[in-house]
Amino acid sequence: MAATDLLGQAEHGVNSPAILLTNSKDFANATVKEVERQLETLETAKIAGQAWCDYGQVIVCDTYEEMVQVADDLAFEHVQVMTQDPNYFLENMTNFGALFLGPETNVSYGDKVIGTNHTLPTNKAARYTGGLWVGKFIKTCTYQRVTPEATVEIGEYCSRLCALEGFAGHKAQADLRVKRYQKT
Question: Which residues does the annotation mark as catalytic?
Answer: 77-78
Give which of 38, 1, 2, 5 is closest to 109, Cα–Cα. 5
In the three-class reduction of DSSP (H, G, I as helix; E, B as strand; rest coil), residue 99 is classed as: strand
Q: What angle do CA 109, 112, 116 make, to 5 degrees?
A: 70
In the three-class reduction of DSSP (H, G, I as helix; E, B as strand; rest coil), residue 78 is classed as: strand
Helices (H), the chain: 2-10, 25-39, 45-55, 64-74, 86-92, 107-112, 148-165, 168-181
DSSP state of 151: H
Buried b (16+ CB within 10 A) or exposed e, 76-113: bbbbbbbbeebeebeeebebbbbbbeeeebbbbebbee
In the three-class reduction of DSSP (H, G, I as helix; E, B as strand; rest coil), residue 13 is classed as: coil
Cβ–Cβ under 8 Å, residues 14 and 51: yes
